[in-house]
Amino acid sequence: MDLHPESVVVAAGRPGAPGDPLTVPVVLTAPYRHDPDNNRYAREHPSATIEAFEATLGALEGGTALAFASGMGAVAALAEGRPAGSVAVIPAAGYAGSLASFRAQEALGHLSVRSVDLTDTESVITALAGADLLWLESVTNPLLDVPDLTRLIAAAHEAGALVCVDATLSTPLLLRPLELGADVVMHSVTKYLAGHSDVLMGALVTSSPTLAAQLHARRTLTGALPGALEAYLATRGMRTLALRMERAGANAAELATRLAAHPAVSRVRYPGSGAMISFEVTGGAAAADAVCAAVRLITHATSLGAVESLIERRAMHEGDAAFGTPASLLRFSVGIEHVEDLWADLEQALTAG
């Protein structure tokens, strides 16, 4: 039966035999008893708990999913796994951790990096000449730009480059890059997929069996496997992904409209869907910091994608400031609280700031 994504997140990755538990339990083991036909060790052969997560995400994305100990572990599998001398085309402005990972490989002499403005499609296409990897984000973090994935993926393949799309902020409910021809999708599972600020985990998904085997081998060599408890919590979180995204997205759309009309807000960045808003306040960094200090329901913290709303001035971080994040930009991860309570908190914080 072909299921809608909202049903896949609930039904996929569950045991199916009569008498099985409805949910795969937490299997805590490193070694397994010797089997002459299948000698297993957890670093190479994950437990059933991790496999359940991978089956759920794989079904949702339409590929083979591999779980990693963190989003950065998933990034590193690609950034550090390219052949020596490779050329990677990466965003000039994007998630600072991913960009730093590629820059570190360049500093070590392992690969060359070309930074591009993902909103300038023609410039990206030009930079792809001789490239081995195109790293994309949709939407970008924290500026929330939306690159032309269809054109960029096609151009990268024409140039002979592998394409990976970080779709953390979109989730598979809004964007499935494999359907657009991407080779790999990356998720920081910590964010929307797990959704409760209690998991550190990442994932890669590919529709290529060959590439899946290569990434599996890379994970085995680096030992970047998540723990069973983290995988269990991530699967449990995914069961409510559709409901959480529906509520948080509706909240974000309404709040983006109200923020755009507020006299203390100079610019609102909202891509039209999803639950992320980035907005700039008048008065510069000091005013933005004052808003973060004044919120009561909204939490001033790093991260995003959880049931609770989080806000942070991103240019306080050296990596974000380095690529031009406006000093007064606040990244606002909208949660599932009542929208009127969120607006009341924003209003009083903007007034206090």
| Residue 277 in this model has a pLDDT that exceeds 90 | yes
Dihedral over Cα of 72, 77, 82, 84: its sign: positive
| Residue 325 in this model has a pLDDT that exceeds 90 | yes
**Residue 338 CB burial class (10 angstroms; 0-12, 13-18, ≥19):** exposed
- Count the Cβ atoms, other than its own, within 10 Å of residue 5: 19
Helices (H), ranges, 22-148: 48-61, 71-79, 96-107, 121-127
pLDDT value of position 204: 98
Give 39's pLDDT tier (boundaries 50, 70, 90).
confident
Distance CA 14, CA 20 (A): 9
CATH T-level assignment (fold) for domain 241-352: Aspartate Aminotransferase, domain 1 (3.90.1150)
Closest CA to 90 of 121, 127, 115, 126: 115
| Residue 244 in this model has a pLDDT that exceeds 70 | yes
Cα 49 to the center of its chain, rounded Å: 21
Residue numbers annotated as active site:
43, 95, 166, 191
Using CA atoms, how far residue 47 sits from 171, 172, 178, 342, in Å, is 25, 24, 26, 40
pLDDT average, residue stretch 251-277: 98
Using CA atoms, how far residue 275 sits from 34, 62, 171, 289, in Å, is 47, 23, 10, 22
Q: Which residues contact 37 (CB under 8 A, 6 or more apart)?
A: none
Rg of the chain (C-alpha set): 21
Question: Can you give the residue ranges of every domain in the chain?
Answer: 5-238, 241-352
Give 59's pLDDT tier (boundaries 50, 70, 90).
very high
| Residue 41 in this model has a pLDDT that exceeds 90 | no
pLDDT average, residue stretch 135-139: 98
Distance CA 195, CA 214 (A): 29
| Residue 37 in this model has a pLDDT that exceeds 80 | no
Percentage of residues in the chain with pLDDT exceeding 90?
94
Residue 19: left if φ>0, alpha if ψ -120 to 50, beta else—which one?
A: left
Q: Which residues contact 75 (CB under 8 A, 6 or more apart)?
A: 97, 98, 101, 166, 186, 202
Q: Provide the 3-class DSSP secondary structure of residue 212.
A: helix
Distance CA 77, CA 135 (A): 13
| Residue 52 in this model has a pLDDT that exceeds 90 | yes
- Count the Cβ atoms, other than its own, within 10 Å of residue 273: 16
In this structure, the dihedral spanned by the alpha carbons of residues 147, 153, 155 and 159, taken in order and rounded to 10 degrees, is 130
pLDDT average, residue stretch 18-46: 88
| Residue 36 in this model has a pLDDT that exceeds 90 | no
Give 283's pLDDT tier (boundaries 50, 70, 90).
very high
Distance CA 41, CA 32 (A): 6
Write out the CATH class of domain 5-238. alpha beta
| Residue 242 in this model has a pLDDT that exceeds 70 | yes
User: pLDDT tens digits for 83-124?
Assistant: 999 999 999 999 999 999 999 999 999 999 999 999 999 999
pLDDT average, residue stretch 161-177: 98
Percentage of residues in the chain with pLDDT exceeding 70?
100
Give 353's pLDDT tier (boundaries 50, 70, 90).
low
pLDDT value of position 32: 87
Contact yes or no for 262/353 (Cβ under 8 A): no
Average pLDDT taken over every residue of the chain:
96
Q: Provide the 3-class DSSP secondary structure of residue 332.
A: strand
Give 302's pLDDT tier (boundaries 50, 70, 90).
very high
pTM: predicted TM-score of the whole model, two decimal places? 0.96
